[in-house]
Amino acid sequence: MNMFYLFVDESYDKNCFILLGCIVNTIELLNLEKALEDVAKKYEIKNLRHLRSKNLSKNIKIDATKSLTNVMEKYNVQIISCILSYRNIKFSIEDKHLRIKPFELKKDYEESLSFLIERFYKFLIKNQSSGIVIFDQFTIERDLKESIKNFLEGKKVLVNCLPTTKRYYSKVIYPSIFFTDDEYSLVLQLTDLILLSLHNGYEKCINEKKQVTKNDIEELWRYNEFLKEYFKFFQKDKNGKVSGWGIKVW
């Protein structure tokens, strides 16, 4: 049976919480890492996160992004994501930086994760494959980790918002989520870059329109130059729509 990894990263600010995952065929993983390393060498950067540097011109960043998307196309990398606008979370502001305590983030984290896992599960079933989920390091409570394990094994749901969470995901997804440092994974660094472009595009859209509709989701690429390059890799439904499938917004 073929196998896929789902590399996941998260971001949040005072307006929203986002989870984004890159689906990668395990057979291609090492070749993908090598190709991403070659891109980093081409632009003389230590790792892909340095493409955020203000020392690089926008033209270089765009060119590098196109090199990354060429690699993604070659190795058939696909993207799924979800965006939650905050509703009832209370924030702790310390030293002028936004800090969210794990328990304050828990419900939204679980809700986002349940959607991401559902989409990954459907992808695996469609491709008659199995999968493993790998997260960038994120400090969560022990009981949440236990809840994730139970969720994957079909013992209980993380939240009650998605009826499909009653599926036994562990039949095709390994019943444990792995956490690693993106310092050692160029695929996670790529995931982070795509996440940043999506987050910036969404923020610009919501600031302009106050409310993001399904039609706006289809046009999010217009709000960020880098997202424009990545947008074709977001999964689409049978009607070719990204909204509700490759990008889910609550």
If pLDDT is split at 50, 70 and 90, which confidence band does 166 have?
low
For residue 110, the surrounding DSSP H or E stretch is helix 102-126
Q: What is the pLDDT of residue 52?
A: 87
Question: 78-120 pLDDT, tens per residue?
Answer: 999 998 876 444 444 443 444 545 455 566 677 778 888 889 9
- Spell out the domains of the chain, with CATH numbers in brackets: 2-249 (3.30.420)
CA distance 238 to 217: 16
CA distance 233 to 36: 16
What is the percent of the chain with per-residue pLDDT over 90, rounded to a whole number? 48
Question: 167-184 pLDDT, tens per residue?
Answer: 678 889 987 778 888 888
> Which of 49-63, 185-199, 217-231 is least confident?
49-63
Q: Token pair of 19, please?
A: 């989870």
Q: What is the pTM of this model?
A: 0.85
* CA distances from residue 101 to 141, 146, 175 in whole angstroms, order as listed: 10, 18, 26
Q: What is the pLDDT of residue 106?
A: 63
Query: Which SS3 state, helix, strand or coil, does residue 53 take?
Result: coil
Pairing of strands 2-12, 129-136: parallel
